[in-house]
């Protein structure tokens, strides 16, 4: 396996992770169809950062692009992980929600418009606290509306990963795509260590972090729909397939009986090796839920 | 004053429903009851501390795996029962410390449990059930996203023990490398960062700020007043659309969320361009 | 946060606008647009105060060779003293 990793495929791969948000969004579209909305030259930035001595970014760390993916109308909203950790502020949050609402309006008028959300984020931007949290709640409301008509696809490739309130957006998605390098969880390891001590979670134990939050674990436990290499063509192909597939009849977050019984079956008297859940929660059984 | 005591949820659940227990088979941390509100039967839900809960990190009023899936179960039950009948109101009583912070929680994908509860609340709202949130204590972060923030209308007490925020003060101070005092001072200048519920009310997300004489030990008058306000909020929710657009159409939004409104109008204009 | 404004004489119009970069550690966002007059106007917003002289030194050197009439905005969150030089050379092409 080591030889395979360092073979020609690895050397000649085009890293998706090394791309910034704008480059990632552009890569997903059919050639020549992408158009950015509210780009940097529109200068719609955060109203709250400069007054705190924090330099704003002209797109507030959120890129919105409209175009076609696999020939179908799509919108991509991409968070820039390098700006304020991809955190949600008033403007970046509203860009995402309004984009999904416009996709929903088009879908209702007869043009199903998929949404692809690129999540590199730690959640709420503390400098905007309550407006960031409210933005996440509103975005979640808009995901619920759109996903009935067109797929809402979440992609987390790393290095920031998807944490905090935005992990609930991934939870509501029609499909989730991750790389091995990426992580997905509600609370980051540092926060857990802070709140409940190093025995609860040693955040410096990288193997533990990826064993729990990493793309491979999330995929192997049926929580994520595709695991891709950090290779742009592979990422693009995975997204295209889900756009073509269309919205599923039942979403993961609606399979309450299934997941409630899985939680009920866990022996909470001890910590578990995350690999134990791979056998208990296989991807196959995720489609057996009611509703 | 702003310390989480974990009693207000139970107090108000009992005051509004006459009950204080979970449904049979449910964990003790989720109180559910049908109760009369106005002239109809509402479904009341509340997350409370359970010191003997199965999950060690969810015993003190945190919203964890069991709490999220139990809420989702009870709400979905109501949605299913109401397919061809009148859509009964759902009232979320909120005084929760936060989401649960634990290794078990992350391993067992609490992010999905959280989404499942929010999905249930949001789906109920979209199906036509008036969903009303009553914040009687703390509503923080992921806990509030799970239990309360998908409501049509949000009410909160005008009281020092009520707090709506993205992160509690001590943790926020640590993360932003400031003192708690500095954070509080910053909140005076930057309204969305404030921990004061009166500042939160300026943002236009709250339907009403309610004054009750004693939030910890409500009088008969207090309880009647809150019931009347809930009935009014239910009627108001029924009179409007099922999505969350009212949050951007409020007086507070017009004053304090100009950035959001600008984004929405510009994005709409550019979307339509060829 | 500091705002720095610098102006340099220009000799030619520039055809189109350009954007690069991210307001992040060791990086900066640069927006370049055609200017109306024969001057290059540079507006810098930086969250690190006190490096005005460093910025001027870097940009003086640059505009000694660059003669486009442009409005250039720089949004910077530099954290290291050398950052104006590093980030600027990284982003200018």
Q: At what angle do helices C52-63 and C83-91 cross, to 10 degrees?
A: 30
CA closest to A57 among chain C residues: C23
CB contact under 8 A, C47 and A54: yes
Express each pLDDT in B2-54 by its tens digit.
578 889 999 999 999 999 999 999 999 999 999 999 999 999 999 999 999 99
Are residues B163 and B235 both part of a single domain? yes
Are residues B154 and B254 both part of a single domain? no
Are residues B203 and B263 both part of a single domain? no
State if pTM tops 0.80.
yes
Query: From CA B68, how far away is CA B72, in angstroms rounded?
Result: 6
Which residues, 6 or more positions from B203, have their beta carbon under 8 angstroms from its beta carbon?
A130, A131, A134, B191, B192, B252, B253, B256, B257
Domain containing residue B170: CATH number: 3.90.226.10
Please, what is the average pLDDT of chain A? 94
Tokens coding A27:
């890569």
**Whether C2 contacts A54, CB under 8 Å:** no
Q: How confident is the model at residue A291 (pLDDT cuts 50, 70, 90)?
A: very low
Query: From CA B76, how far away is CA B193, in angstroms rounded?
Result: 34
Q: Using the 8-state DSSP alphabet, how is residue C55 labeled? A: H
Core vs surface per residue A214-233: b (16+ CB within 10 A) or e: bbbbbbbbbbbbbbbbbbbe
pLDDT of residue A287: 47
Has residue B66 been placed in a domain? yes
Query: From CA C50, how far away is CA C2, in angstroms rounded?
Result: 8
Tokens coding B156:
């909160």
pLDDT of residue B2: 57
Are residues B170 and B38 both part of a single domain? yes
Using DSSP, state whether C6 is helix, strand or coil. Answer: strand
Q: Which ranges of A109-231 would DSSP assign to H, the alpha helix?
A: 129-146, 166-172, 189-196, 206-213, 215-220
Nearest to B143, CA basis, from B166, B169, B116: B166
Chain A interface disruption, residue of C3, C24, C51, most A CBs within 10 A: C24
pLDDT of residue A9: 65
CB contact under 8 A, C25 and A82: yes
pLDDT of residue B175: 86
CB contact under 8 A, A272 and B56: no
Nearest to B47, CA basis, from B107, B114, B124, B129: B114
Are residues B32 and B99 both part of a single domain? yes
* Backbone angles phi and psi of C59, in degrees to 5: -75, -35
- Where do we find the tokens 């290779």? A231
Chain C interface disruption, residue of A45, A55, A83, most C CBs within 10 A: A55
What is the nearest CA distance from C66 to chain A, expressed in angstroms?
Answer: 22
Q: Residue C46: its chain A contacts at CB < 8 A?
A: 55
* Backbone angles phi and psi of C3, in degrees to 5: -115, 125
* Domain residue extents for chain C: 2-11+19-91
Has residue B1 been placed in a domain? no
Q: Residue A54: its chain C contacts at CB < 8 A?
A: 1, 47, 77
Domains contained in chain B, number: 2
Are residues B78 and B143 both part of a single domain? yes
CB-closest option in A44, A102, A131 to B271: A102
Range of the domain at B157: 8-243
Q: Which CATH number fits domain A13-184+224-249: 2.30.110.10, 3.90.226.10, 3.40.50.720, 3.90.280.10?
A: 3.90.226.10
Q: What is the mean pLDDT of residues A218-239?
A: 97
CB-closest option in A212, A254, A271 to B119: A254
Are residues B20 and B78 both part of a single domain? yes
The reply to whether C23 touches chain A by the CB within 8 Å rule is yes
Is the pLDDT at A239 greater than 70? The verdict is: yes
Q: How confident is the model at residue C25 (pLDDT cuts 50, 70, 90)?
A: confident
Express each pLDDT in A168-217 by its tens digit.
999 999 999 999 999 999 999 999 999 999 999 999 999 999 999 999 99
Express each pLDDT in C45-83 by its tens digit.
998 888 888 889 989 998 998 899 999 999 998 755 455
Q: Residue B92: its chain A contacts at CB < 8 A?
A: none
| CB interface of A with C, residues 205-234, below 8 Å | none
Query: From CA A206, how far away is CA A190, in angstroms rounded?
Result: 11
CA closest to C29 among chain A residues: A57
Express each pLDDT in A75-131 by its tens digit.
999 999 999 999 999 999 999 999 999 999 999 999 999 999 999 999 999 999 999
């Amino acid at each position: 396996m080591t030889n395979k990793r360092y073979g020609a495929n690895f050397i000649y791969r085009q890293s998706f992770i090394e791309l910034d948000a704008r480059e990632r969004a552009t890569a997903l579209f059919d050639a020549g169809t992408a158009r950015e909305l509210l780009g940097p030259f529109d200068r719609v930035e955060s109203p709250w950062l400069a007054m705190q001595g924090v330099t704003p970014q002209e797109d507030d760390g959120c890129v919105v692009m409209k175009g076609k993916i696999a020939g179908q109308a799509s919108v991509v909203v991409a968070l820039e992980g390098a700006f304020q950790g991809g955190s949600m502020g008033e403007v970046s949050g509203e860009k995402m929600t309004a984009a999904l609402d416009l996709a929903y309006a088009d879908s209702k008028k007869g043009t199903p418009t998929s949404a692809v959300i690129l999540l590199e984020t730690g959640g709420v931007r503390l400098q905007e606290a309550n407006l960031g949290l409210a933005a996440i709640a509103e975005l979640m409301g808009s995901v619920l509306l759109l996903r009935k008509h067109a797929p809402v696809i979440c992609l987390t490739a790393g290095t920031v990963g998807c944490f905090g309130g935005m992990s609930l957006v991934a939870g509501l998605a029609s499909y989730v795509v991750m790389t091995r390098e990426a992580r997905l969880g509600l609370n980051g390891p540092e926060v857990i260590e802070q709140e409940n001590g190093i025995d609860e979670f040693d955040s410096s134990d990288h193997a533990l972090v990826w064993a729990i939050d990493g793309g491979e674990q999330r995929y192997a436990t049926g929580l994520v729909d595709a695991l891709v290499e950090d290779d742009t063509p592979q990422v693009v192909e995975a997204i295209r397939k889900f756009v073509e597939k269309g919205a599923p009849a039942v979403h993961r977050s609606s399979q309450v009986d299934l997941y409630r019984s899985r939680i009920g079956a866990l022996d909470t008297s001890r910590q578990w090796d995350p690999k134990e859940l791979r056998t208990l929660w296989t991807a196959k059984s995720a489609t057996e839920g009611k509703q | 004053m702003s310390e989480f005591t974990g009693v207000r949820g139970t107090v108000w659940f009992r005051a509004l429903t006459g009950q204080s227990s979970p449904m049979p088979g449910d964990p003790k941390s989720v109180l559910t009851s049908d109760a009369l509100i106005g002239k109809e039967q509402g479904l009341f839900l509340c997350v409370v501390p359970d010191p003997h809960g199965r999950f060690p990190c969810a015993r003190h009023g945190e919203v964890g795996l069991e709490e999220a899936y139990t809420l989702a179960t009870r709400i979905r039950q109501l949605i299913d029962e109401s397919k061809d009948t009148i859509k009964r109101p759902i009232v979320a009583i909120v005084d929760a410390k936060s989401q649960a912070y634990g290794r078990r929680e992350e391993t067992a994908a609490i992010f999905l449990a959280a989404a499942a509860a929010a999905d249930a609340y949001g789906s109920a709202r979209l199906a036509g059930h008036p969903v009303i949130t009553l914040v009687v204590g703390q509503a923080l972060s992921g806990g509030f996203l799970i239990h309360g923030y998908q409501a049509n209308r949000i009410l909160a007490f005008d009281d020092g023990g009520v707090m709506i925020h993205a992160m509690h003060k001590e943790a926020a101070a640590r993360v932003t490398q400031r003192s708690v005092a500095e954070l509080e001072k910053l909140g005076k200048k930057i309204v969305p960062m404030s921990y004061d519920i009166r500042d939160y009310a300026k943002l236009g997300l709250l339907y009403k700020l309610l004054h009750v004489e004693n939030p910890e030990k409500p009088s008969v008058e207090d309880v009647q007043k809150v019931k009347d306000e809930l009935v009014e909020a239910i009627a108001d929710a029924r009179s409007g659309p099922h999505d969350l657009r009212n949050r951007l159409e409020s007086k507070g939004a017009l004053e304090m969320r100009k950035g959001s409104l600008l984004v929405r109008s510009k994005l709409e204009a550019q979307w339509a361009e060829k | 946060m500091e705002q720095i404004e610098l102006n340099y004489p220009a000799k030619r119009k520039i055809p189109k606008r350009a954007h690069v970069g991210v307001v992040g550690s060791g990086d900066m966002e640069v927006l370049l647009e055609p200017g109306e007059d024969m001057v290059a106007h540079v507006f810098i917003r930086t969250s690190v105060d006190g490096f005005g002289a460093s910025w001027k030194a870097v940009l003086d050197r640059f505009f000694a060779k660059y003669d486009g009439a442009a409005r250039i905005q720089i949004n910077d969150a530099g954290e290291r003293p050398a950052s104006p030089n590093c980030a600027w050379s990284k982003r200018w092409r």
